[in-house]
Amino acid sequence: MYKKLLKEVFATKYNKKELIIPWHEESHLIVDDNYDWKKDCPTFNYVIDKIANYFNIDIKATRMNWYQFDTDHKYFHHDAATIKPHIAKKQNFTVGVSFGSTREIVFQVANHKDCRNIVSIPLKMVLQIENMVFYLKL
């Protein structure tokens, strides 16, 4: 699935240096949603449809993060819905799907004055899962 997704992204008509860009202080790459690439990526749309049907949700936005190397990561952050009530009315959950290399997933408890509390899914646990999905209700 991972290789198929990348093959389809790279096969789009867009300039790859403009389509696939560094994100979050260059900690990883994203496929830029300012381009209409998703219509040419049936595997991406297949995954989105599967998620929507499985969780019975109406997906409003998607993003493809690409963690190309083991050192790539995403810093702790808030989605816009956490700090903007008008966005929270339409975006109240996060679903993540991981293909390719396994990695630890860590969530920071952000609604508490002591934001140093974290919840971690250890790498040894993730290693047993080839493809992983998580769902968070905000």
pLDDT on residue 14: 96
pLDDT in tens, 70-86: 888 887 777 777 778 88
pLDDT on residue 74: 82
Cβ burial 20-48 (10 Å sphere, 16+ → b, else e): beebeeeebbbbeeeeebbeebebbeebb
pLDDT class for 88, splitting at 50, 70, 90? confident
Q: Where are the domains of the chain?
A: 2-137
pLDDT on residue 49: 93
pLDDT on residue 118: 60
**CB–CB of 42/8 below 8 Å?**
yes
pLDDT at residue 12 above 70? yes
pLDDT on residue 40: 96
pLDDT on residue 130: 45
pLDDT class for 60, splitting at 50, 70, 90? confident
Helix axes 2-10, 42-55, angle to 10 degrees: 130
**CB–CB of 138/93 below 8 Å?**
yes
pLDDT class for 42, splitting at 50, 70, 90? very high
pLDDT at residue 4 above 90? yes
Starting at the earlier edge strand, list the strands of the sheet with 64-66.
20-23, 28-31, 64-66
pLDDT above 70 covers what percent of the chain?
A: 76
Mean pLDDT of 101-119: 66
